[in-house]
Structure 1
Amino acid sequence: MALLLDVLLLLGLWANTISGGQPASTNRPGDFNYELPATKYETRDDYEAGPAGLLFHMVHLFLYVVQPRDFPIDSIREILKQKSEPSIDYQKVAYYEMGIIICAVLGLLFVILMPVVGFFFCMCRCCNKCGGKMHQRQKKSGRCQRKCFAVSLLVMCFLISIGIFCGFVANIHVQTWMNNTQKLATSNFKDLRTLLNETPKQIHYILAQYNTTRDQAFSDLDRIHTLLGAGILEKLKPEVVPVLNDVKAMATAIIRTHESLENMENSLQSLSNGSSQLNNSLTNVKDNIQNSLNDNDCSSARDQETCNRVRASLSQLEINPELGQLPSVDQQLSRVNEILKTDLDKLATQGSRSLEDIPNTIKNQTTEVVADVKAVLNSIGHNIDSVSQQIPIQSTLSSFEDYLNDTEYYFYYYTSIVEKNDSFWWLSSLIICFLLSLIVLFFYLGLLCGICGYDRHATPTTRGCVSNMGGIFLMTGVGLSFLFCWILMFIVTLTFVIGANMEKLVCEPYANKKLFQVLDTPYLLNQDWKYFLSGMMFSSSDIELTFEQVYSDCKNDKGVYTALQLQHIFNIDDHLNIQQHTGNIMREFENLNLRLDSITLLDDAGRRNLQEFAESGVDKLAYDTYLAQADKSPVKTNLLGFASILEAEANRLSSGSLRQSLKTEAQTIRTIYQHQVLPMEQSLSTLQQSVQILQHTTSGLPTKVAKILYNLDSAQNFVTNNTSSIIVKETKQFVTTIIGYFEHYLQWVKFAISEKMATCKPMATALDSAVKVFLCGYTVDPLNLFWFGIGKATVFLLPALILAVKLAKYYRQMQSEDIYDNVETVPMKNMENGNNGYHKDHLYGVHNPVMQGKAKPGRACMPVM
């Protein structure tokens, strides 16, 4: 109990040491996830007795049978309240202690009666009574009784051995408690020092996290043009950017239209000139061939048919006359050239640039506000630093550390004294266990020698020395039992009363927290204080601060601030007013007055340019006519094929000038194809591509332009009418983000200080180590196991010694025996009864050797008792 009060005093001193909690991690959504550095403690918060735990549990069950009543909270309260008065209700105490009292009385009766019975038994044996006479009457059931006695004694010895084993286990468990206690204490003291050392680090960590939060806020404020301005821009872009992109696309379409019209004009001019030249060239070729065919070389019947075929094929040398008559696009090209004098793409880019300039405009307008907000954020940091300094931690850590040093010094000082005297306890319990072991060893040896040396054919007076030695061992065990068992029972009774009451009044109520309920009784420990802890810490005993609540909170790893309700000393809410700090930031942002100049997406010149392009007439050109002519060849026949046929016909002619002339013209036709037809075909291909591009570009041109102008008006109206509301909304969101950083941080600081800073789990662990482990685990449990084992062995000694006395008669060598004329005749009954029950003819001697003078002496083995 003194150790318990010391730990509670430790909690009280710690209350003066820490006036605010320590940081805890909150897994709340936000830009930061603050997490205190993990503090590692060595001491385990659970205790395992190991293999001996099963034996301890068995003792607990026995105690529950002896004392099944619940912890008498009300009775204990009444006793403590009446501690200064003699009027204690002993009846209630006796009722609760009934089971223990009964067992103690039985033990005392055993202690008193056992030596008395032993004394009379010894005196009786010395007078040859109570089986002291070395004569054994033979009975019909003798063999069965001997076996039953032997088996029963063996069972008793086994049960006694189990009790001795429990005593040895308890002794070994106690032998190691000193080393374990020192290790446990060292671990607890180290954890408490770790708690003291980690507290300043946790405070510095909290302040460092403010710097991180402030730096993030400063970074956002420095990037207000990209965050706030970009937010405004992102809200405008969906309505504006598509329209401007359409305008830029139309500007690109105008350029592509101009390029296509130029290509068409050039192709048409090339086709017109090429058609005239090609017509002249083909006419000259036809005339030359015709003149050659009119020569006399075609007069022969052999060549005349060839000349006629050549003459008939000359009609194929004709051009496509429609190529030179395609309509010109000069008028449309001229209009597009006028339209291109206005740079529509530049005008659209200017509209886009007016949007992209929004971030710079925001930056220029928020310079002073950003500076003021930064000043407020710095002041919050100074306020938090001031609050941390106001928490009386550093100023009282030294005094608590001195107290801890003194406690540690006295612990090791008294531990060394206990360690020096620990051998006496260990040696005493070892002697008790060995004494019981010696008794049961005599019983085991008696059984071993008696069973191994027993000869069923030998008479009681002719038994061997081995058998006789077995009986002597048994009687020696009986003598030792009478001599020491009452001393053992006295020790068992004494340790039983102490250990059982410690278990039922301290260990068990501590485990189920009923002991805390007693300590938490109003006006119990101090008549002037309703709650002892609150009166000791706050000088106000009406605050409901209980031992059970403090222990449970510390056990659950809560901070001292919450566990000890230190808000009654230093209220963190009053010093870290989140609404006050965030309100200061909000007031600075209220001075933020953003204005955006008029944003013009496309001026009137750009609109006129679009309208003129729609009215240029490029969409009304005869694209089908151009495409139809572009698919045709400049000449009606394939000139290369015609040249090859002409050359083949010439080869059929007889050698002469005509043949050579036709070959020359064939080569001329090939030259015309290479230098005139191919360029015209290239011009036709260019014309076809240009027409197709132009047709695709100008398809539905008026409708497209009308749609662009309509969308342009809609976007312009959206920008004009909604920019102000967008600015307000995005500004509010930006401010909320900045404030959210510090609101989240301040809430975490409040939670950290109140919940997790300086978690008092090492204190609860130290209390558990003192009571649950050291007092109950290392002391009470082994003590209870010791009296349980030794008591069990001592109790079973009583039937064991009775059985040993009975069994010794069957093993020891007798001085006289009953003699019969027939060994198979059943031994006669006691002659002292006056009727032996057998026929006289069978008997030639009686059991009394003095009367008959035929006593049969036994062997020289000295009788014992």
Structure 2
Amino acid sequence: MCLICGLLCGICGKRPDGYGDDCCNKGAGGRFLMFGVFIIFLTFSVMLAITLVSFLAGSLFRRSVCDSLKQPHDSQMIDYIDTYFNLNKHYERIGTQSARSKWKQQATNRKVDPIRIADVIESCRGNNSIYQVLKLSNFYDIQEIRQFPEEYGITRELERLKNEIKVPTVQILDDQAKKNIGILRDSRLNDFVAYKFVENLTSNITQNNLNDIANELRKVANKVPPGKDMNEIKVNLKNQALHLSSYQYNLVEPMLRYTSELVNLSTTLDHSLKFGRESFALAIDEFLTEIQAAEAYINVQGQEFVVAVTSELTDGFLEQIHGYLNLVIESTSRHIGRCGPLSNVYESMQVATCNRIVDPFNGFWAGVGWCLAIFLPTIVLCVKLSTLYSKSDPYPGPLVES
């Protein structure tokens, strides 16, 4: 408002001459402009101080925090934190504690890979395991568990088991047992023939079925004419038919079942005694031959065979152990505790803090600063115009000599 009034008075007003000046002359316009400059100085200095402090704070936060989070390897702030919070000293303390526990400390001549916060951040972005991110191999190498079978004596015990295998001389049948088997071979079991049972035990014990005869007797009894003497004959025929049916059910049919079972038993016994051979004596001779061959194989090649089987068993057992150890090593070093989800949280916090808060904050105060910069030429112009407007015209009347 002061600037507008100053410009209006300066443009439209008369130049002051000191004699009957108007209220809105160029001098008044100059004073309005200087009053506006004074107000601008009061507000400009306060706003400029706030803007500078806010913009510098935002820029410092952007440079020290946001840029460090995005590019940790090129950040002096991360290097300072690494120097102040030296993680390698903590790792040395952990290594000392591990030496007192059951875990074996790394050899002193082993090269230790120093850990830095920047390396942790980059490794976590690569979705590596916690073992790789924190470089836990500095104080315990997971590869050392491959030596567990040797350290805990598993391999030594398996080798001792193979070396201690001794197969003594074996005698399956002594002389007395062979003699008894020879007596059995020459016994009457050699004369057992099953076909005689099959030939003699026919499927029909009676030549005709007794039930059929009984039915015929009943038919004849039904055809006998009635009469006093004929009734007695009719009753006798029916009684005989009843007896025949009873014999068929109670005697003939059970005997037929027992005959079938006896035939099956004789056939099975003949096959069992001969072991599928032509005679019982031949089966016994082959049995003795197989026993002698087995005894010779055990005594000659038994040691080698048992050692080979034991070696295959122990090798398979060791292979299972090493396979499990490889699984533990692979899972621990590459899969357990992957840092990808934590990296996603880290990136989300970075975007939410830097891109959504810090960048708009800095942009706002940068805009305010450019707006305040416009006041600088305004102040200079107002001072120049005020000086120009304050000049008065010379006295227009005649000069009087003193």
With normalisation by structure 1, the TM-score equals 0.27
With normalisation by structure 2, the TM-score equals 0.50
